[in-house]
Amino acid sequence: MGEEFIVGSINEEYYRFFKNSPISFQDYIDETLNDILLNEIPNHIKEMYDLDYSSRFEQDDIVHAYGAYHDDDTIIEVTNELGEKVYEASVIRYSEQLDLEDVEHESELEERVDIVNCDSRYVLIGMEWSKGLHDEFELSLDSEVFDPSKLKILYKDYDECSELISGIMYNGVKLESNGELGTTGKGAKWCIRDNKTLEEI
């Protein structure tokens, strides 16, 4: 499992409209409101931010991250040039459910991202998650045998509620991602938040 995580600044008027309105912000962003409720939202509120599905991901002036979760349900798999598996393990610890080998690689926190204390009191937060392949990295070893103890998983912690893998290192060198993806089964949650009170709408 992995996630696309978006955080953008919004103004107080926008936040207070949805806070004081019976209209659900999630229904609004999901575009499931009927015409009567939609017409109750003033035009200038609707025009403040373009939250159409094709544009909402651009409301990301604070954070825009994508990656697999750094947890024991995420699996790292290493294959050779013939496509043969040479290493497979849960990212952070042994997973009895998946009957994988004990973890031999390391993990390292690359950055702790504090969204609560960012420059904007009011923020839009979007989380879109999915299952499948979330990234692929290439490593050239020539004749050297792959050593899992030289492998390090880099991750970032967002508000201590979501840890996403941000990179892979081998023997101290950060590997290049080839951007390979293959995900299905998406779900989503969007909200607006007052970072002072931590109230989410």
Query: What percentage of the chain exceeds 90 in pLDDT?
Result: 67
Q: What's the rounded Cα separation, in Å, for the pair 17 and 112?
A: 31
* In the chain, domain spans: 2-70+108-135+154-200
Hey, is 13 helix, strand or coil?
helix
Neighbouring-strand partners of residue 188: 128
**Residue 145: Cβ within 10 Å count:** 6
Residue pLDDT, tens place only, 135-185:
889 998 887 899 999 999 999 999 877 899 999 999 999 999 887 778 787
Average pLDDT over residues 193-201: 95
Prediction pTM value: 0.85
Within the chain, how many helices (H) and strands (E) appear? 4, 11
Whole-angstrom Cα Rg for the chain: 20
Q: What's the rounded Cα separation, in Å, for the pair 8 and 10?
A: 7
Q: What is the pLDDT at residue 120?
A: 95
Q: Which helix (H) or strand (E) holds 27?
A: helix 25-29
Q: Is a pLDDT exceeding 70 seen at residue 96?
A: no
Q: What's the rounded Cα separation, in Å, for the pair 124 and 28?
A: 13
Q: Provide φ and ψ at 134, rounded to 5°.
A: -105, -15
Confidence label for 46 from pLDDT (cuts 50, 70 and 90): very high
Average pLDDT over residues 5-16: 97
Hey, is 57 helix, strand or coil?
helix
* Cβ atoms of residues 8 and 123 within 8 Å: yes
Q: Is a pLDDT exceeding 70 seen at residue 125?
A: yes
Buried-exposed string 45-72: b where 16+ CB fall within 10 A, e elsewhere: eeeebebeeeebeebbebbebbbbbbeb
Among 61, 98, 60, which residue's Cα sits nearest to residue 76? 98
* Cβ atoms of residues 152 and 108 within 8 Å: yes
Q: Is a pLDDT exceeding 80 seen at residue 6?
A: yes
